[in-house]
C-alpha cells in the first residue's frame, strides 16, 4: 500500500465516525439523466491574447446567447499561473464600449489594476503585466468599466485566475480532475436564452438578481463524480446574489481556503455564505455516498429583501464512479500571522448609507464615487483598522483593492466565527452590521479602490478612491519576496523610447542590473554599485542606440560578502 493511500483511507474512517447518522443522507436519490454536463472554460495558453468582443455563445443547448466575452468564451478563459512568475497578456478591446481587466485579489501596480480611470477604449489594446506575488489560491478577473461593470460581468466578462505554488502542492489535496473550480452566477429565466441586463429601480436598489443558476456558464449543470474526496474552488461571480452554500443531503464539508488562499485551520461546516467577489475552497467527501445517487449543491434560504435569500439549486453531483482522488484533508495547514490590534495606528470609519436617486442611492461616508477625487490617503506599511458601518437594511460585500486583509470584529464581537478567519479581500456585511478589518498596504503605492461588490451598488457610486503613499520596502513571505529583494516588471511595457525598472534592495548589497538581447549578448549595464536598503528605479532609454524592435532581457543580481543574495530576470519589449 502506498503511503498516500494509507493516509487517505484512515482519514475517511475518521471523518465517517464524526458524522452523525442523521446527516448521512436519507433515501438515496436516483440519478436523473437530465441537465447539461458541467463545462470548463479553456485554459489561457502562454502567449495567447485576450480579445473582448460581442459574440454569441451556446449557453442553453441549441440556442444562442449574446455575450460580451474574452476570446469568445463564457465564462472567460481560466488563467493558471505559478506564484513568483511574471504574468503578461495583451488585452484587445474590440467591443463597442470602454473596458478594463481588473485582477481581483491580486496585488499589482496601480496601472495594472484595471481601474475605471484606466479604461482601454474601443479598438485599443493594453498590455497587463505583473509579478504574481500572491499566495496560491483562487482569484478571478472581470471588467471594471465605469458605470457598466454590472452589465459587462452579467453578459459574461469574468473568469478564473488560479495561482499555484509548490508548498500547496505538497499538502496532498485532491488534484487534477478532483480539483474543481466552480463559478456560480445567476440569470433570469424569463429572458432565456438572453442575458438581458436592464436594471429597474428595484434592481439598482437590491442588485440585479436572477432566479436560475449557471455554474461555469452551464445551466442545470451536473458533474459525474467518484466516491472520494473533492476540492471545490467556489467563486461567486454573480452581480448581486449571495449564496448560502450547502449540499442537499446536508453532507458536511471542510472549508480550507478563503479569498487569498488556504486558511490556517480547517473548518467543518454544513453551510456557509458566499457573497459576490468572495471565494471559498472546500473539501467534500463523497466516499460514503452510494453509487448511482445524486446530491445537489444549493443555496439555502435566508431572510432578505426581494429575490435575495431565495433558495436556489446550483448544480448536481452524480456519484457514478469509485476511483479515489488520493487526496487528503490536511491535518496541518501553513500558519498565518495575525495582526495585533494593538499595533494599529488608526481607525478609519466608512459609513454605508442609502439615499435617494438624487443624493446617491448607495453611499460611503455620504458620497458617491468621483473618479477624480481622492477620498483617503494611507501610508504604506501602516497597520489600520477599516471599520465598515452598514446603516442600511441591505447586504454589502465590501472589497478593497491592493491588499489582503484580516477580519477583526463582526457586530462588535472580536471572537470571530472561524469562517471569518484567514486572508480576505472581500467581506460580507449583513444588514445594519458593523465589521472591522485590519489592513496593511505593503506592495504598491498609488491610487486604488474600495467598493461594494454588488455591482449595481458599485456602478451607482458605492466606491471610493484611496491613495497609498510611500515606498514598499518590507519583506515577508506572504508577499513572496526573497530576502527583501525584488525586481519589478518594467513600465511601460512595451515601450518606446524608454522604460522604468523598479527594484527593492533588502539589505546593503552590490547591485548589478544588466540588459541582454534575446540571443543573450550583454548590451548594457545600467546599474552597478553598492546600495543601501530601499526601493530604487532606473530608467532605460533606447534613444539613438540603433537597437531593433523585440524582446530584451534585464537581469538584477545582488551580492554581499562574495555571496549571491538575489538573481532575477525580466522580459521587456521595445517597439520602434
Stretch that binds ligand C2O, among 167-175, 194-202, 431-439, 447-455 (CB under 6 A): 447-455
Among 396, 410, 421, 424, binds Cu ion (CB under 5 A): 396
CA distance 221 to 154: 18
Q: How far is the CB of 140 from ligand C2O (least distance, A)?
A: 7
CA distance 55 to 66: 6
Residues 6+ apart with CB under 8 A from 1: none
Q: How far is the CB of 562 from Cu ion (least distance, A)?
A: 44
Rule CB under 6 A: say whether 451 interacts with ligand C2O: yes
Q: How far is the CB of 366 from ligand C2O (least distance, A)?
A: 21
CA 113 to chain centre: 12
Among 399, 410, 421, 444, binds ligand C2O (CB under 6 A): 399
Residues 6+ apart with CB under 8 A from 112: 103, 128, 129, 130
DSSP classification of residue 11:
H
Residues 6+ apart with CB under 8 A from 477: none
Q: Which among ligand C2O, Cu ion, none contacts residue 457 (Cβ within 5 to 8 A by kind)? A: Cu ion
Per residue in 323-356, is it b (16+ CB within 10 Å) or e — as a string?
Answer: ebbbbbbbeebeebeebeeeebeeebebebbbee
Rule CB under 6 A: say whether 480 interacts with ligand C2O: no
Among 144, 279, 362, 557, binds ligand C2O (CB under 6 A): 144
* Minimal CB distance residue for ligand C2O: 104
Among 25, 59, 99, 104, binds ligand C2O (CB under 6 A): 104
Rule CB under 6 A: say whether 457 interacts with ligand C2O: no
Q: Are 78 and 139 in contact (CB under 8 A)?
A: no
Nearer to Cu ion, 104 or 187 (CB): 104
Rule CB under 6 A: say whether 401 interacts with ligand C2O: yes
Order of all β-strands in the sheet with 243-247: 36-37, 221-226, 312-321, 294-299, 243-247, 272-274
Nearer to Cu ion, 83 or 401 (CB): 401
Stretch that binds ligand C2O, among 77-85, 131-139, 240-248, 449-457 (CB under 6 A): 449-457
Q: What are the grid coordinates assigned to 444, written together?
A: 504598491
Site string for Cu ion, 89-108 (x = CB under 5 A): ---------------x----
- Residue in this structure with the C-alpha cell 499555484, named with its chain if needed: 164
Q: Which among ligand C2O, Cu ion, none contacts residue 83 (Cβ within 5 to 8 A by kind)? A: none
Nearer to Cu ion, 279 or 557 (CB): 279
Q: How far is the CB of 390 from Cu ion (least distance, A)?
A: 9
Q: How many CB atoms lie within 10 A of CB 226?
A: 19
Per residue in 265-302, is it b (16+ CB within 10 Å) or e — as a string?
Answer: ebbebebbbbbbbbbbbbbbbbbebeeebbbebbbbeb
Rule CB under 6 A: say whether 449 interacts with ligand C2O: yes
> In terms of residues, how long is the chain?
576
Helix (H, G, I), strand (E, B) or coil at 206: helix
Nearer to ligand C2O, 146 or 571 (CB): 146
Residues in contact with Cu ion by CB under 5 A are 104, 396, 401, 452, 454, 457
Residues in contact with ligand C2O by CB under 6 A are 102, 104, 142, 144, 277, 399, 401, 449, 451, 453
Amino acid at each position: 500500500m502506498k503511503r498516500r493511500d494509507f493516509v487517505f483511507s484512515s482519514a475517511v474512517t475518521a471523518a465517517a465516525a464524526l458524522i452523525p447518522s442523521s446527516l448521512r443522507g436519507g433515501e438515496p436519490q436516483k440519478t436523473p439523466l437530465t441537465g447539461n454536463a458541467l463545462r470548463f472554460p479553456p485554459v489561457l495558453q502562454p502567449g495567447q491574447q485576450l480579445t473582448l468582443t460581442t459574440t454569441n455563445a451556446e449557453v442553453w443547448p441549441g440556442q444562442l446567447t449574446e455575450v460580451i466575452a474574452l476570446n469568445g468564451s463564457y465564462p472567460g478563459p481560466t488563467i493558471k499561473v505559478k506564484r513568483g512568475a511574471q504574468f503578461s497578456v495583451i488585452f484587445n478591446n474590440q467591443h463597442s464600449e470602454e473596458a478594463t481587466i481588473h485582477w481581483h485579489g491580486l496585488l499589482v501596480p496601480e496601472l495594472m489594476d484595471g481601474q475605471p480611470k484606466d479604461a482601454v477604449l474601443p479598438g485599443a489594446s493594453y498590455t497587463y503585466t505583473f509579478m504574481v506575488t500572491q499566495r496560491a489560491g483562487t482569484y478571478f478577473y472581470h471588467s471594471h468599466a465605469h458605470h457598466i461593470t454590472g452589465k459587462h460581468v452579467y453578459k459574461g466578462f469574468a473568469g478564473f485566475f488560479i495561482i499555484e505554488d509548490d508548498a500547496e502542492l505538497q499538502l496532498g489535496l485532491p488534484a487534477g480532475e478532483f480539483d474543481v473550480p466552480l463559478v456560480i452566477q445567476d440569470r433570469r429565466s424569463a429572458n432565456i436564452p438572453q442575458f438581458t441586463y436592464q436594471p429597474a429601480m428595484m434592481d439598482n436598489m437590491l442588485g440585479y438578481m436572477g432566479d436560475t443558476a449557471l455554474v461555469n456558464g452551464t445551466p442545470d449543470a451536473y458533474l459525474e463524480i467518484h466516491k472520494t474526496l473533492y476540492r471545490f474552488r467556489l467563486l461567486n461571480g454573480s452581480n448581486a446574489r449571495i449564496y448560502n452554500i450547502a449540499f442537499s443531503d446536508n453532507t458536511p464539508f471542510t472549508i480550507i481556503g478563503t479569498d487569498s488562499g488556504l486558511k490556517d485551520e480547517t473548518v467543518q461546516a454544513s453551510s456557509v455564505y458566499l457573497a459576490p467577489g468572495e471565494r471559498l475552497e472546500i473539501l467534500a467527501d463523497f466516499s460514503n455516498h452510494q453509487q448511482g445517487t445524486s446530491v445537489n449543491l444549493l443555496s439555502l434560504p435566508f431572510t432578505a429583501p426581494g429575490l435575495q435569500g431565495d433558495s436556489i439549486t446550483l448544480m448536481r453531483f452524480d456519484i457514478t464512479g469509485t476511483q479515489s482522488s488520493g487526496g487528503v484533508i490536511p491535518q496541518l495547514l501553513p500558519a498565518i500571522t495575525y495582526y495585533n490590534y494593538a499595533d494599529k495606528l488608526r481607525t478609519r470609519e466608512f459609513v454605508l448609507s442609502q439615499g435617494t436617486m438624487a443624493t446617491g442611492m448607495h453611499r460611503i461616508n455620504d458620497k458617491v464615487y468621483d473618479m477624480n477625487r481622492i477620498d483617503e490617503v494611507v501610508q504604506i506599511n501602516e497597520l489600520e483598522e477599516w471599520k465598515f458601518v452598514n446603516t442600511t437594511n441591505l447586504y454589502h460585500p465590501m472589497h478593497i483593492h491592493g491588499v489582503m486583509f484580516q477580519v477583526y470584529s463582526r457586530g462588535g464581537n472580536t471572537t470571530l466565527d472561524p469562517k471569518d478567519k484567514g486572508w480576505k479581500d472581500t467581506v460580507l456585511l449583513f444588514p445594519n452590521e458593523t465589521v472591522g478589518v485590519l489592513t496593511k498596504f505593503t506592495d504598491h503605492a498609488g491610487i486604488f479602490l474600495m467598493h461594494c461588490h454588488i455591482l449595481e451598488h458599485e456602478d451607482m457610486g458605492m466606491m471610493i478612491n484611496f491613495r497609498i503613499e510611500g515606498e514598499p520596502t518590507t519583506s515577508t513571505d506572504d508577499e513572496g519576496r526573497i530576502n527583501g529583494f525584488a525586481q519589478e516588471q518594467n513600465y511601460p511595457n512595451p515601450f518606446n523610447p524608454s522604460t522604468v525598472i523598479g527594484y527593492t534592495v533588502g539589505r546593503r548589497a552590490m547591485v548589478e542590473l544588466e540588459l541582454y538581447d534575446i540571443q543573450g549578448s550583454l548590451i548594457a549595464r545600467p546599474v552597478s554599485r553598492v546600495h543601501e536598503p530601499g526601493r530604487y528605479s532606473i530608467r532605460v532609454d533606447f534613444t539613438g542606440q540603433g537597437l531593433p524592435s523585440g524582446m530584451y532581457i534585464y537581469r538584477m543580481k545582488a551580492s554581499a560578502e562574495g555571496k549571491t543574495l538575489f538573481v532575477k530576470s525580466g522580459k521587456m519589449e521595445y517597439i520602434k
